[in-house]
Structure 1
Amino acid sequence: MGGDGRVQHPLTYVRQKYGMSMDELARRLTLAARRRGLIYRPDRDRIYKWESSRVKAPSGDYQMLLADVFGVDQDDVVRYGWPWWLPAYETPHPFTAVGSRSALLEVLVALEHPDRRAFLAFTTGALVGTACGWATIEPERLAGALHGRRVDATLLAWLETRTEELRALTNTSAPECTDLIGALLKTTIRLINTGVYDAPVGRRLHQVAASAAQCAGWLHFDQGEHTHAVRHWNGALHAAHAADHRDLGAGVLSDIAYAANWLNQPSTAVDILEHARTRTHSAAARSLLDLRRARALAALGDAHNTGRALHSAEKELDRARPGAAPAWVSWMSPADLTIDAGRCWLDLGQHQQAEAALAEGLQLLDPARARTRSVMLAYRAEGALARHDLPAATSIACEALTTARATQAARCIQLADTTLEHFAPHRAHPAVADLYAFAAS
């Protein structure tokens, strides 16, 4: 935040954190260019334009030089894009009544000002630290608010019902649910902040906020809006902690870990999931946590512990009682276990085993879960390509792209497009040429 309370541009935040004026940053960029054998002489006006967003983004060369100045890996510049690769991080809130209120207020501000500039959210170390704090700190007792109207019991029951209905809808109608969940979340956070209620009602309000914020986080993640996703998940984690709902909190942490693995940070995902599993009660929840841990371990190339995590996930899913799983993990099924096991084998280079698992899992998967289907088809196409089966790979990749586009989820579309890039060395093959022509249509 700036001194007047406005949100600063990430570049402003980083520059000031390093104690640089605009002139000093311009001087360092000139030196960085010289070290690379380039001739660039930026001035403070150019930096002002970047920080005021009068220029949408610096050129690729200037971003490279900025990364040199701030010590950021060039791969991160490409992976995250401007300005999200800048090391401008927020500090996680503590698991106290004040900290949870602040985390939810940040969500409220983001809902009311969706176009405001936002930072990358948290460092990987901060995310792991947040998970550790959630696992070790006991929630404070909720006290009634000191001002406002008493929370209406009928309204609270309505919010609880609508939250679970919207959670179910997000699996099939994600883009259309965003505004509905946002409106419900704003209402709930305002009731938490201004209403009058006792401890039991307070826990119910925080549980509604946690569930709605978790759903909203997934919707933002699906659209590639990672900053907003983590902000909502952080608010959800604090609300679940305040409600003393450990399984729900573990579910939020598992989402954060899934996103970390998706963004090529599997070590962070493993650390978060280890903390999350310590406080869970539901067998279905533990199964999902184990499965996502297996995915991260496979990405790290740890075949032994991947196998152990998959075995544990299968055992926990067998223990889960039908109808007893928390709402956030009620979709967990043998299909998910089999499909994710296939992705693990693919990462570990066991391509035949991966194909068998992915094919079986896709056959078992509920047809309504199109986003999961599109992701797994992309994985299956990748596996077929690794086995040098071009006809099968192109056919599956075409289906993956068609399914991803139908979902309207940026995450799914981006994965399908990335899968197409793997076919580039075989561009001359007729089947690949047809695939590229279809993709361009």
Structure 2
Amino acid sequence: MTELAAHPLTHVRQENGWSMADLARLVRRAAGREQLRSGVDRNRVWRWETGRATPSPGSQHLLARILDVPPGQVDTLGWPHWLPAHVEPHPFTLPGSRAAVQEVVVARMDRRAFLVLGGGALAGMARDWAVTEPGRLTGALDGRAVDPELVTWLENRTAELRTLAATSEPLVANLVDAHLSTAIRLLDQARYSEAVGLRLCSTVATLAQCAGWQRFDQSRHGGAQRYWQAALHASHLAGDRELGAGVLADLAYQATWLGQPRHAVDILGWARSRTASPAARSLLDVRRARALAQQGDAVACEKALSSAERELDRARPETTPGWVGWMSAADLASDAGRCWLDLGRPGRASSSIEAGLRLLDPGRARTRAVFLSYRAESAFAVGDVEAARVFALDATGVAAGTGAARCVRQAATVADRVGLGRWMQGAGSP
């Protein structure tokens, strides 16, 4: 792993290939565009990076403009926490895993709304997870002993919360966070046997995975990454390779969603190497197909989809981990349709997505909103503008009901693309 820059601004500057003088020049130019004057020079940047000075509010505003950070983020998080600085993943050692898990308690507020782990770092983390065996877990020596009945209670509530987390209710998110904090404090401060410790780690991993999805749905991508990193480490401490593969699948899905398919393919390859569940393999293959389609690799994409179909046919409830219990023919069909759409085959995409929508569980509203958006895009791509607008309108309504910001944004983008706003103004809603 590369050595971390001493200051977030140093890291941001190095990521962009700027010298201190380059950054100072960018700040002065940004000021000029706003008809302001700035005296920032190389020495001033050096003082910021060494902690000898803090940029004025005006200079921070200019830096935020340069780095495309919303002004509200600057005021809310403060210097230097609003800077979009990537960090290195925690190593898969006992101290490293404990640090990754503890981080989600210490950082109560998402310190960054953007990605904190670069794609290459994510792929490296997946590789380290796959090749590193868990160490022996022991409890803190000076804490109070954990009552096994409390652990059982937490496990039962966690299973219930995982089911409830399929909705976007804010209160569910609060409950997940509260139970996660409790489980992490027990893991970090209490005394327990190795068996109880492993159960606590599994509980932490499941709750952190749920918390990551809740943040992902609200487009809080940096927070989602941090919780999923904690979930990966906790599942590693628990020796639960199946759950770890599921967390990597989530990180890969996020990478594809954000337009980083190459890294997603690498992550999914490592995840698949350590899971034996057919349902899990099917999901990993589907997500790999999605990433390959974004890269335009039709041959590899079709192979991945064929493998996903074979694995799903082999799936049985008794061999399916809880985190992937929702995987179904509906997901395979609609995601395959998204692949064909990305590969420029909208006719094939339309029939596949349509089949997925027919098969989809009515209770999965967020998934339905996403699939309806896909269906609108495929109809528009084949020239059926009226159908595209109907599907986009349906997607917009379903997405609004979920409260999931990413679904709302996706539906709104598709609606704008198919001219839904102009159509509604001219013809009225259907």
TM-score of the superposed pair, with normalisation by structure 2: 0.86
User: Is 90-99 or 38-47 further displaced after alignment?
Assistant: 38-47
Unaligned runs of 5+ in 2: 1-5, 49-53, 75-80
The Cα shift of 1:138 comes to: 0.6
Cross-structure match for 1:311: 306
Query: How many residues end up aligned between the 2 structures?
Result: 408
Cross-structure match for 1:94: 91
Choose the corresponding residue for 1:189, options 162, 184, 188: 184
Aligned equivalents of 2:308, 2:383: Cα separation in 1? 31
The Cα shift of 1:145 comes to: 2.0
1:241 and 2:236 correspond: yes
- Is 1:174–1:219's contact at 8 Å kept on the other side of the alignment? no
The Cα shift of 1:86 comes to: 5.7
Cross-structure match for 2:137: 142
1:372 and 2:370 correspond: no
Choose the corresponding residue for 1:43, options 30, 39, 54: 39
The Cα shift of 1:254 comes to: 0.2
- Is 1:9–1:117's contact at 8 Å kept on the other side of the alignment? no
1:322 and 2:322 correspond: no
- Is 1:9–1:52's contact at 8 Å kept on the other side of the alignment? no
Unaligned runs of 5+ in 1: 1-7, 68-76
- Is 1:89–1:119's contact at 8 Å kept on the other side of the alignment? no
C-alpha spacing 1:434/1:360, structure 2 compared with 1 (3 Å): farther
C-alpha spacing 1:339/1:15, structure 2 compared with 1 (3 Å): closer
Choose the corresponding residue for 2:378, options 354, 376, 383: 383
Aligned equivalents of 1:55, 1:252: Cα separation in 2? 41
Cross-structure match for 2:121: 126
Q: Aligned to 1:368, what secondary structure does the other structure show?
A: coil
Aligned equivalents of 2:258, 2:82: Cα separation in 1? 12
Cross-structure match for 2:78: none
Pairs within 5 Å for 1:171-190:
171-190=166-185
CA RMSD of aligned residues (A): 3.3
Aligned equivalents of 2:338, 2:56: Cα separation in 1? 40
Pairs within 5 Å for 1:135-284:
135-284=130-279
C-alpha spacing 1:19/1:383, structure 2 compared with 1 (3 Å): closer
Aligned equivalents of 1:16, 1:298: Cα separation in 2? 32
Aligned equivalents of 1:258, 1:168: Cα separation in 2? 20
Aligned equivalents of 1:31, 1:368: Cα separation in 2? 52
Aligned equivalents of 1:91, 1:107: Cα separation in 2? 16
The Cα shift of 1:374 comes to: 0.2
Aligned equivalents of 2:352, 2:131: Cα separation in 1? 37
C-alpha spacing 1:266/1:85, structure 2 compared with 1 (3 Å): farther
Aligned equivalents of 2:245, 2:355: Cα separation in 1? 28
1:294 and 2:294 correspond: no
The Cα shift of 1:39 comes to: 7.4
Deviation string 1:154-179 (CA, Å, 9 cap, x unpaired) is 10001111111101111134433111
1:361 and 2:356 correspond: yes
Letter in structure 2 aligned against 1:104: V
Cross-structure match for 2:403: 408
Aligned equivalents of 2:426, 2:194: Cα separation in 1? 62
1:336 and 2:331 correspond: yes
Cross-structure match for 2:51: none
Letter in structure 2 aligned against 1:147: D
Choose the corresponding residue for 1:14, options 12, 15, 18: 12
Q: Which runs of 4+ in 1 moved over 6 A?
A: 16-21, 31-34, 37-40, 45-48, 81-85
The Cα shift of 1:420 comes to: 2.0
Q: Aligned to 1:144, what secondary structure does the other structure show?
A: coil
The Cα shift of 1:27 comes to: 3.9
Letter in structure 2 aligned against 1:42: S
Choose the corresponding residue for 1:108, options 105, 110, 115: 105
The Cα shift of 1:121 comes to: 1.2
C-alpha spacing 1:329/1:52, structure 2 compared with 1 (3 Å): farther
C-alpha spacing 1:405/1:255, structure 2 compared with 1 (3 Å): same
C-alpha spacing 1:275/1:40, structure 2 compared with 1 (3 Å): farther
Aligned equivalents of 1:53, 1:165: Cα separation in 2? 48
C-alpha spacing 1:104/1:372, structure 2 compared with 1 (3 Å): same
Letter in structure 1 aligned against 2:122: L
Letter in structure 2 aligned against 1:29: V
Q: Aligned to 2:92, what secondary structure does the other structure show?
A: coil
The Cα shift of 1:30 comes to: 3.1
User: Is 84-93 or 372-381 further displaced after alignment?
Assistant: 84-93
- Is 1:216–1:232's contact at 8 Å kept on the other side of the alignment? yes
The Cα shift of 1:90 comes to: 1.3
TM-score of the superposed pair, with normalisation by structure 1: 0.84
The Cα shift of 1:387 comes to: 1.1
Deviation string 1:86-127 (CA, Å, 9 cap, x unpaired) is 6511121110110010001111112xx326457631111111
Deviation string 1:357-415 (CA, Å, 9 cap, x unpaired) is 11111011000000000001011101111111111011111000000000000010010
The Cα shift of 1:348 comes to: 0.8
Letter in structure 2 aligned against 1:108: V
Letter in structure 1 aligned against 2:397: T
Q: Aligned to 2:317, what secondary structure does the other structure show?
A: coil
- Is 1:404–1:412's contact at 8 Å kept on the other side of the alignment? yes
C-alpha spacing 1:385/1:29, structure 2 compared with 1 (3 Å): same
Letter in structure 1 aligned against 2:27: L
Choose the corresponding residue for 2:394, options 388, 399, 416: 399
The Cα shift of 1:38 comes to: 9.7
Aligned equivalents of 2:104, 2:239: Cα separation in 1? 20
Cross-structure match for 2:77: none
Cross-structure match for 2:27: 29
Aligned equivalents of 1:326, 1:242: Cα separation in 2? 17
